[in-house]
Amino acid sequence: MISTNNLNIGYKDKVVVHDLSFSLDKGMFIALIGANGAGKSTLINSLIGVIPPVSGQISWKLKTDRVNPFNDVGFSPQSQLIDWYTSVYDNVYQGPLLAGFKTKEAQKTTKQALKLLDISDLSAKPVDHISGGQQQRVQIAREIAREPQVYILDEPTTGLDVETSEKLFTYLKQKVDAGSIVLTSSHDLTLLESYASHVLFLDDHEQKYFGPLTDFLDSGTSLREKYLNERKAIEK
Ligand SMILES: Nc1ncnc2c1ncn2[C@@H]1O[C@H](COP(=O)(O)OP(=O)(O)OP(=O)(O)O)[C@@H](O)[C@H]1O
């Protein structure tokens, strides 16, 4: 479980989002939504420990038999984190290797992840010889190949085509059904609505909603409509 209590996040003393209190548990697929600048990346970076909270608590309770508990977390940041001097294969292979997998197992999960993201045929290519969308696939494949319990993904579908985005979310949903936690930000509300179980909505420097997707939506309202209506109400 990952929980926050009266968490204020931001930069130096400037708070970007106030008073976040939520608990993310096994079997949850959480859509992190909000306008540009709402604080989604700041929250993600705080949860994984890159940005220290201004105040309040973040608590991780993860039962893991991996030597380093962080090896059980798959993290894909918004800006690409790629090793520019190696091939597509080696970039992905580094994921499971650094997560403590034995060579054979790492090779196996690397091949599976390359296949899932449809980049097997690019394996030998240097990463600076492929497109931006293909680089995004490499970054996600590396985290998938680690087979973590928790996936924290900052706009993973940016640059991905529709088919690959759906394939990725279908895979993540299977993982959630098997007990993983997925927290993902995205501006693709239609895609999120099809896969997410929960919504964490940031707006106006606050946590406006955290709870089940179905409770967030009024009957017959789409996530997109609901989001736009909430934004309008806030702006009034
Ligand atoms: N390194 C930084 N130093 C100071 N302020 C920052 C920094 N990074 C972001 N901010 C500010 O914090 C606020 C939240 O930014 P953040 O990147 O978390 O938003 P976001 O919801 O992820 O936006 P987007 O949808 O555009 O990616 C914005 O006002 C932004 O200008």
pLDDT digit string, tens, across residues 160-189: 999 999 999 999 999 999 999 999 999 999
Does pLDDT of 11 surpass 80?
yes
* Percentage, residues of the chain above pLDDT 70: 100
Q: Whole-model pTM?
A: 0.95
Indicate the DSSP class of residue 212: E
Does pLDDT of 26 surpass 80?
yes
- Edge-to-edge strand ranges of the sheet holding 14-24: 55-60, 2-11, 14-24, 206-212, 198-203, 29-33, 181-185, 150-154, 73-76
**Protein residue with least CA distance to atom 16, ligand 1:** 39
Does pLDDT of 63 surpass 90?
no
Q: What is the pLDDT of residue 70?
A: 83
Mean predicted confidence (pLDDT) in 68-87: 85
Phi, psi of 162 (to 5 degrees): -60, -45
Q: How far apart are CA 46 and CA 162, in angstroms?
A: 29
The domain limits of the chain are: 80-148
CA 38 – ligand 1 centroid, Å: 7
**Residues with Cβ within 6 A of ligand 1?**
11, 16, 34, 36-42, 78
CA 87 – ligand 1 centroid, Å: 31
Are 13 and 4 in contact, with CB atoms under 8 Å apart? no
**Protein residue with least CA distance to atom 24, ligand 1:** 36
Mean predicted confidence (pLDDT) in 115-135: 95
